[in-house]
Amino acid sequence: MSVGQVEAIAQTINSIAGATFITQPAKAVESPFRPLVPDAQVLLESNDPYLEIDAHISQSEDAVVTVLTTGPTILKNLPFFLSNNFKTKPVVSHVDLTNFDFSIITSLRDLNYPIVISQSPKEAAIYSRLAYNLAVNSQKSAFHFYAPSQYQLKDAFKPKGDVLIKDVESLQTSDILAYFDVKPFELVNKVSKPKDSVLYLGQLNDEIIEGFTKENVLLITANVYQPFYLQSLLSIIPSSVETITLLLQSANISTTQSSFSPLLLDFFQEYPKYQTLKNFSKIVGSSIGFIQSGKYATAIENLLKNVRSSNPVQNLSFGKVNTEISTKSSKKLLEDHEKAQAGAWKLEQAYLKVLEQIDPTNLRILNEFNGSNVGQSNPEYGFGSFLYDQEQRENFVESVHKAVQENRFHSIDNSNLIGYLSQWLVQTRSGLPVDDKTITEVIELLKTDEVSEVSKELLAKQEYFRSHKNWLVGSDAWSYDLGSSGIHNVITSGKNINMLVIDSEPYNEKKADGNRKKDIGLYAMNYGNCYVASIAIYSSYTQVLQAFIEAEKFNGPSIVLAYLPYSSEFDSTLPILQETKRAVDSGYWPLYRYDPTIEDEKESFKLDSSNLRKQLKDFLDRENKLSLLASKDPLLSRNLTQTANTEIKSQQKKVAEDSFAELLKGLSGPPLTVAFASDGGNAEAVAKKINRQALGRGLKSVVLEMDDLSIEDLPTETNIVFVTSTSGQGEFPTNGKQFWDALKNATDIDLSTIKFSVFALGDSEYWPRKEDKHYYNKPGKDLHAKLLFYGGVELSEIGLGDDQDADGFNTGFNEWLPKIWKALGVDKLEGVEEPKPITNEDMKVGSDFLRGTIAEGLQDSSTGAISSIDQQLTKFHGIYMQDDRDIRDDRKAEGLEPAYAFMVRLRLPGGKATPAQYLKLDQLADFRGNGTLKITTRATFQLHGVVKHDLKPAIRGMNSVLLDTLAACGDVNRNVMVSALPHNAKIHGQVSAIGAKISEHLLPQTTAYHEIWLQGDDDGDEPGDSKAWEARKDGPKRTKTLVAGNALADVEPFYGKTYLPRKFKIVINVPPYNDVDVYAHDIGLITIIENNEVVGFNVLVGGGMGTTHNNKKTYPRTGSMFGFIPKDKIHIACEKIMFVQRDYGDRTNRKHARLKYTIDDMGVELYKEKVETLLDFKFEEPREFKIDSNIDFFGWCKDELGLNHFTAFIENGRIEDTPELPQKSGLKKIAEYLTEGKSGEFRLTGNQHLLISNIEDKDLDHVKSLLAQYKLDNTDFSGLRLSSAACVAFPTCGLAMAESERYLPALITKLEEALEENGLRHDSVVMRMTGCPNGCARPWVAEVALVGKAYGAYNLMLGGGHHGERLNKIYRYSIKEDEILEILKGLFKRWSLERNEGEPFGDFVIRTGIIKPTLEGKYFHDDIAEDA
Ligand SMILES: Cc1cc2nc3c(=O)[nH]c(=O)nc-3n(C[C@H](O)[C@H](O)[C@H](O)COP(=O)(O)O)c2cc1C
Ligand code: SF4
Question: 1117, 1228, 1287, 1372: which one is catalytic?
Answer: 1287
Residue 643's pLDDT band (cuts 50, 70, 90) = very low
Examine the residue annotation and report whether 530 is marked as an active-site residue of this protein: no
The CB density around residue 906, as the number of other CB atoms within 10 Å, is 24
pLDDT in tens, 545-579: 999 999 999 989 999 999 999 988 888 889 999 99
CA 1129–ligand 2 middle distance (angstroms) = 34
pLDDT in tens, 1358-1408: 999 999 999 999 999 999 999 999 999 999 999 999 999 999 999 999 999
Burial class (CB in 10 A: 0-12, 13-18, 19+), 831: exposed
- On whether the CB atoms of residues 724 and 813 are closer than 8 A, the answer is no
Q: Which residues line ligand 1 (CB under 6 A)?
A: 678-684, 725-730, 733, 761-763, 766-767, 775-777, 803, 809, 1297, 1350
**Looking at 58-67, 330-339, 482-491, 992-1001, which range is the least confident one?**
482-491
The residue among 423, 577, 149 whose CA lies nearest residue 415 is 423
Residue by residue, DSSP assigns 308-343 as HSSSPPTTEEESB-S-S--SHHHHHHHHHHHHHHHH
H or E stretch including 420? helix 414-429
pTM of the model: 0.79
The residue among 1026, 960, 34, 890 whose CA lies nearest residue 506 is 890
Q: Per-residue pLDDT averaged across 214-242, rounded?
A: 94
Question: 844, 1063, 1147, 1372: which one is catalytic?
Answer: 1063
More confident residue, 296 or 1401: 1401
pLDDT in tens, 1081-1121: 999 999 999 999 999 999 999 999 999 988 889 999 999 99
Whole-number pLDDT of residue 3: 59
1398: left (phi over 0), alpha (psi -120 to 50) or beta: left
Q: Among 726, 1113, 1150, 1295, which residue has the most ligand 1 atoms within 8 Å of its CB, making it the best to mutate?
A: 726
Per DSSP, what are the bridge partners of residue 65? Answer: 91
Residues near 1187 by Cβ (< 8 Å), separated by ≥ 6?
1069, 1071, 1072, 1073, 1074, 1078, 1086, 1363, 1364, 1365
Q: Which amino acid is at 1238?
A: K
User: Would you say residue 646 has pLDDT above 50?
Assistant: no
Cα distance between residue 1051 and residue 675, in whole Å: 43
Cα distance between residue 1208 and residue 1231, in whole Å: 14
User: Would you say residue 647 has pLDDT above 70?
Assistant: no
Whole-number pLDDT of residue 478: 57
Residue 714 CA, distance from chain mean position? 37
Cα distance between residue 1108 and residue 1349, in whole Å: 10
Cα distance between residue 1067 and residue 1087, in whole Å: 10
User: Would you say residue 315 has pLDDT above 50?
Assistant: yes
Residue 1069 CA, distance from chain mean position? 38
Q: Among 766, 773, 774, 1347, which residue has the most ligand 1 atoms within 8 Å of its CB, making it the best to mutate?
A: 766
When mean pLDDT is compared over 382-396, 743-757, 927-941, the highest value belongs to 927-941
CA 1152–ligand 1 middle distance (angstroms) = 20
pLDDT in tens, 1065-1092: 999 999 999 999 999 999 999 999 999 9
Q: Per-residue pLDDT averaged across 969-986, rounded?
A: 95
Burial class (CB in 10 A: 0-12, 13-18, 19+), 667: middle
Cα distance between residue 1242 and residue 916, in whole Å: 10
**Looking at 123-132, 736-745, 1037-1046, which range is the least confident one?**
1037-1046
User: Would you say residue 655 has pLDDT above 60?
Assistant: no
CA 1354–ligand 2 middle distance (angstroms) = 13
Cα distance between residue 1167 and residue 858, in whole Å: 42
Residues near 935 by Cβ (< 8 Å), separated by ≥ 6?
941, 942, 1210, 1213, 1214, 1215, 1244, 1245, 1248, 1249, 1250
Cα distance between residue 1103 and residue 1082, in whole Å: 5
- On whether the CB atoms of residues 1363 and 1328 are closer than 8 A, the answer is no
pLDDT in tens, 905-914: 999 999 999 9
Q: Per-residue pLDDT averaged across 151-171, rounded?
A: 82
CA 1334–ligand 2 middle distance (angstroms) = 6
- What is the rounded average pLDDT for all residues in the chain? 89
Residues near 499 by Cβ (< 8 Å), separated by ≥ 6?
379, 471, 472, 473, 474, 486, 487, 490, 557, 558, 559, 560
CA trace torsion 634, 637, 639, 641 (10° rounding): -140
Q: Per-residue pLDDT averaged across 919-946, rounded?
A: 95
3-state SS record for 793-860 = EECCCCEEEECCCCCCHHHHHHHHHHHHHHHCCCCCCCCCCCCCCCCHHHHHHCCCCCCCCHHHHHHC
pLDDT in tens, 433-480: 788 888 988 999 999 988 888 899 899 998 899 888 889 888 655 555
Question: 1293, 1338, 1349, 1366: which one is catalytic?
Answer: 1293
H or E stretch including 130? helix 121-138
Going by DSSP bridges, is the β-strand pair 1250-1255/1284-1286 parallel, antiparallel, or unpaired? unpaired
Q: Which amino acid is at 70?
A: T
Whole-number pLDDT of residue 696: 82
Residue 644's pLDDT band (cuts 50, 70, 90) = very low
Q: Is 880 helix (H, G, I), strand (E, B) or coil?
A: strand
Whole-number pLDDT of residue 637: 55
Which backbone phi and psi does 435 adopt, to 5 degrees? -70, 155
Cα distance between residue 58 and residue 80, in whole Å: 13
Residues near 1170 by Cβ (< 8 Å), separated by ≥ 6?
1140, 1144, 1162
Cα distance between residue 250 and residue 289, in whole Å: 5
Cα distance between residue 93 and residue 8, in whole Å: 15
Q: Which amino acid is at 715?
A: P
User: Would you say residue 515 has pLDDT above 60?
Assistant: no
Whole-number pLDDT of residue 635: 58
Whole-number pLDDT of residue 480: 52
Query: Rounded to the nearest 10 degrees, what angle do helices 1377-1394 and 1304-1317 cross at?
Result: 40
CA 1286–ligand 2 middle distance (angstroms) = 9
- Residues 186-210 as b or e (16 or more Cβ within 10 Å = b): bbbbebeebebbbbbbbbbbebbbe
Residue 371's pLDDT band (cuts 50, 70, 90) = very low
Residue 639's pLDDT band (cuts 50, 70, 90) = low
Question: 781, 844, 974, 1224: which one is catalytic?
Answer: 974
The ligand with the least distance to the CA atom of 938 is 2
- In order of 368, 377, 569, the CA distances from 372 in angstroms are 11, 10, 19
pLDDT in tens, 1206-1264: 999 999 999 999 988 999 999 999 999 999 878 899 999 999 999 999 999 999 999 99
Burial class (CB in 10 A: 0-12, 13-18, 19+), 1202: exposed
Q: What share of the chain in percent tops pLDDT 90?
A: 60
**Looking at 534-543, 630-639, 677-686, 774-783, which range is the least confident one?**
630-639
User: Would you say residue 860 has pLDDT above 60?
Assistant: yes
Whole-number pLDDT of residue 653: 57
The ligand with the least distance to the CA atom of 762 is 1
Residue minimizing CA distance to atom 4 of ligand 1: 727
Rg (CA), the chain: 39
Question: 122, 517, 851, 905: which one is catalytic?
Answer: 905
- On whether the CB atoms of residues 555 and 580 are closer than 8 A, the answer is no
The residue among 410, 404, 411, 405 whose CA lies nearest residue 441 is 411
More confident residue, 287 or 1135: 1135
Q: Which residues line ligand 2 (CB under 6 A)?
A: 1287-1289, 1293, 1295-1296, 1300, 1330-1332, 1334-1336
pLDDT in tens, 232-270: 999 999 999 999 999 998 876 544 445 567 788 888 888
